[in-house]
Amino acid sequence: MVLFSRLPSVSRSALGPAAAVFLAFAALMPAQAAEGIATFADRSRIVAIGGSITEIVYALGEQHRLVARDSTSRYPQAAAELPDVGYMRQLSPEGVLSVNPSGILALHGSGPKEAVDVLKKSRIPFIEVPERYDNQGILEKIHIVGKALGVDAKADALAAEIDAKLKAAEKQTASIKERKRILFVLSMQGGKLLAAGSDTAADGIIKLAGGINAIDGFAGYKQLSDEAVITARPDVILMMNNAGPATADDELFSNPVVASTPAARKLIRMDGGYLLGFGPRTADAIHDLAVSLYGGQVTD
């Protein structure tokens, strides 16, 4: 009561507390933790965060080191048996610490920052792996994970193998003249399509499979207007398997706007983690997508 004992005008009363609050916040800026390790000293108990990271650990044959994974790590089947520390962007620091990890391997974007700060403070080595949606990005991930686990030689071999597969996969579509325009639909809500623009994993995989992303006007995932669907002129629509029930196919094609595009009844569905993971299986995903798109035109 004493605090607000008079009836000051709002402009004055708002400024005072606001300034005080700002100072209070500014005085408590977070201390940035230093990092720069590349190899875990103790490689016996690793937590893998990010589907592609877990896949790479398995591909390297180092899965015996894993003690937990995040909820996006669903492949291979055996990984699903590991304790799940939650969604990679919403980690619980105590949950991660409860599995007594000796190191944490996390895909870029893992968080929240508060959780990562606490994990770093607990002196458990934390290695962040960058993500890029192209071939080099996959190889880079493999090298970083391999180095972190102290198996550089294995990583080099795996990277070389994957690199060859990726190059071969890309070559398969090199001779195709007529490129198909592909509309990646993340989900449908009330008949509206949520589509992938540039700077997305979907955009990356479409390009690698020799297609053209039908959307080039925006970055990220956005809802399309009916007219934008028509302007995009997609030849094919690409969706994830887990994006809604199978009956959604009929809903998609009963949409008069979709029906008016060249993609009228052409839908490709693929597993989300396989299609968009940018990990060891991406070369196969590129091949599968290319075959679905171009059929016999794909050269082996």
Partner 1 sequence: MADQSIADAAGIMATAAEGDRSRRARLVIVLLCVGLAIAVLLSLTSGASDASAIGVMHDWLFGALPGDAALSARDHVIIHDIRLPRVILGVLVGASLAVSGAVMQGLFRNPLADPGLIGVSAGSSLGAVAVIVLGSTMLAPLTSALGTLALPLAAFCGGLATTLLLYQVATRQGRTSVATMLLAGIALAALAMALTGILIFMADDRQLRDLTFWQLGSLGGATWQKIGSVGPIIVLALAAMPFLARGLNALALGEATAGHLGIPVQRLKYTAIVGVSAAVGASVAVSGGIGFVGIVVPHLLRLLIGPDNRYLLPASALLGAALLLLADAVARTIVAPAELPIGIVTAVAGAPFFLWILLRKRGVIDL
Residues near partner 1 (CB under 8 A): 1, 3-5, 7, 10, 13-14, 17-18, 21-22, 24-26, 28-30, 32, 68, 71, 83-87, 89-90, 92-100, 109, 112-115, 117-118, 121-124, 186, 200, 219-223
Q: How far is the CB of 164 from partner 1 (least distance, A)?
A: 32
Nearest to 70 by CA among 31, 33, 110: 110
Min CB(140)–partner 1 separation in Å:
20
Coil, strand or helix: which one is 49?
Answer: strand
Q: Give the integer Cα–Cα distance in Å for 239 and 185.
A: 5
Identity of the residue, 61 or 83, whose beta carbon is nearer to partner 1 in the bound complex: 83
Give me the least distance between CB of 160 and partner 1, in Å please: 32
Residue 233 Rama label (left phi>0; alpha psi -120 to 50; beta): left
**Residue 85 burial by CB count (10 A; 0-12/13-18/19+): exposed, middle or buried?**
buried
Q: What's the min distance (Å) between Cβ of 15 and partner 1?
A: 10
Report the relative pairing of strands 126-129 and 103-107 from DSSP bridges.
parallel
Q: How far is the CB of 52 from partner 1 (least distance, A)?
A: 15
Q: Which of 272, 275, 279 is nearest to 288 (CA)?
A: 275
69 versus 180: smaller Cβ distance to partner 1 = 69
Q: Please name which of 260, 262, 292 lies closest in space to residue 275, comparing C-alpha atoms.
A: 292
Residue 224 or 298 with smaller CB distance to partner 1? 224
Give the number of residues written for the chain: 300
In the complex, least distance from residue 23 CB atom to partner 1, rounded to whole angstroms: 10
Structure tokens at 198: 């540039």
| Partners of 47 in the β-ladder | 68, 104
Question: Could you tell me whether strands 181-189 and 192-196 are parallel, antiparallel, or unpaired per DSSP bridges?
Answer: antiparallel
Q: Which is nearer to partner 1, 25 or 36 (by Cβ)?
A: 25
CB of 154 to partner 1, least distance (A): 28
Tell me how many helices (H) and strands (E) the chain has: 12, 10
Of the pair 83, 262, the CB lying nearest partner 1 is at 83
Is the Cβ of residue 162 or residue 195 nearer to partner 1 in the bound state?
195
Q: Which is nearer to partner 1, 115 or 275 (CB)?
A: 115
Dist. CA 269–CA 221, nearest whole Å? 18
